[in-house]
Structure 1
Amino acid sequence: MEFEIQNTRRSKPLKVVLYGVEGIGKTTFASQFPEPIFIDTDNEGTSFIEAKKLPDPKDWQMLLQEIEFASQRKPGKTLILDTADWAETMAKKWLMKKNGWKAIDSANYGAKYVALANEFTRLLTGLNHILSAGMNVVVTAHAQMKKQELPDEIGAFDRWELKLERRDSSQLKEWADLLLFADYKTTVVTDSNNHTKAQGGQRVMYTTHKPTWDAKNRLGLADQLPFKYNAIKEPLEQAMGMTSQPDLGNGEVPADILSKMITSQIQLTDLQAILYQGKFVAPGTPMSQVPAATWQHIGNHWADAMNFYKTQIKK
Structure 2
Amino acid sequence: MEIIKGKIKRAKKVVVYGPEGIGKSTFASRFPNPVFIDTEGSTNDMDVARLPRPTSWTMLLEEIDYVEKTAGVCKTLVIDTIDWAEQLCVEHICSKHNKSGIEDFGYGNGYVYTKEEFGRFLNRLTDVIEKGINVVLTAHAQLRKFEQPDELGAYDRWELKLGKKTSSQTSPLVKEWADMLLFCNYKTYSIAVDDKGKKHKAQGGKRVMYTSHHPCWDAKNRYGLPDECEFDYGVIAGIIDQITPEAQPQKAPEAPVAPKMPDPVPTVPEGKQMDLRDLAPENPPKKEEQPKQEPAVSKDSVFHVDERIPKALRDLMEDKLVSEDEIQAVVAGKGYYPQTTPILNYDPDFISGVLVGAWPQVYAMIKQLRETYEIPFEEV
SS in 2 for 1:123: helix
Q: Output the CA distance in 1 between the equivalents of 2:79 and 2:113.
A: 21
| Aligned equivalent of 1:148, options 146, 160, 163 | 146
SS in 1 for 2:157: strand
Superposed CA RMSD: 1.9
1:278-315, Cα deviation, whole Å (9 max, x unpaired): xxxxxxxxxxxxxxxxxxxxxxxxxxxxxxxxxxxxxx
Q: Aligned-pair distance for 1:105?
A: 2.4
Q: Output the CA distance in 2 between the equivalents of 1:184 and 1:105.
A: 35
Q: Aligned-pair distance for 1:197?
A: 2.2
Q: Aligned-pair distance for 1:91?
A: 0.8
Q: Aligned-pair distance for 1:108?
A: 2.7
Q: What is the 5 A alignment of 1:160-239?
A: 160-164=158-162, 165=166, 166-191=168-193, 193=195, 194=197, 195-237=199-241, 239=242
Gaps of 5+ in 1: 243-315
1:191-228, Cα deviation, whole Å (9 max, x unpaired): 56224222211111100000111100011100011111
Aligned residues with identical type, % of pairs: 47
1:13 aligns with 2:15: no
Label 1:29 to 1:99 Cα distance change in 2 as closer, same or farther (>3 A): same
Q: Output the CA distance in 1 between the equivalents of 2:2 and 2:80.
A: 43
Q: Output the CA distance in 1 between the equivalents of 2:182 and 2:80.
A: 15
Q: Output the CA distance in 1 between the equivalents of 2:79 and 2:8.
A: 25
Preserved contact between residue 204 and residue 226 of structure 1 (Cα < 8 Å): yes
Q: What is the 5 A alignment of 1:47-126?
A: 47-74=44-71, 75-105=73-103, 107-126=105-124
Q: Aligned-pair distance for 1:101?
A: 1.1
Gaps of 5+ in 2: 246-380
More RCO (CA 8 Å, sep 6+): 1
Q: How many residues align?
A: 238
Q: Aligned-pair distance for 1:234?
A: 2.1
Preserved contact between residue 187 and residue 205 of structure 2 (Cα < 8 Å): yes
Q: What is the 5 A alignment of 1:266-305?
A: none
Preserved contact between residue 11 and residue 240 of structure 2 (Cα < 8 Å): no
Label 1:119 to 1:197 Cα distance change in 2 as closer, same or farther (>3 A): same
Runs of at least 4 residues off by over 4 Å: 3-7, 239-242
Q: Aligned-pair distance for 1:6?
A: 5.8
Q: Aligned-pair distance for 1:98?
A: 1.8
Matched AA of 1:46? T
Q: Output the CA distance in 2 between the equivalents of 1:141 and 1:5.
A: 37
Q: Aligned-pair distance for 1:162?
A: 0.5
1:92-137, Cα deviation, whole Å (9 max, x unpaired): 1111122121211285321111111111012111101111111010
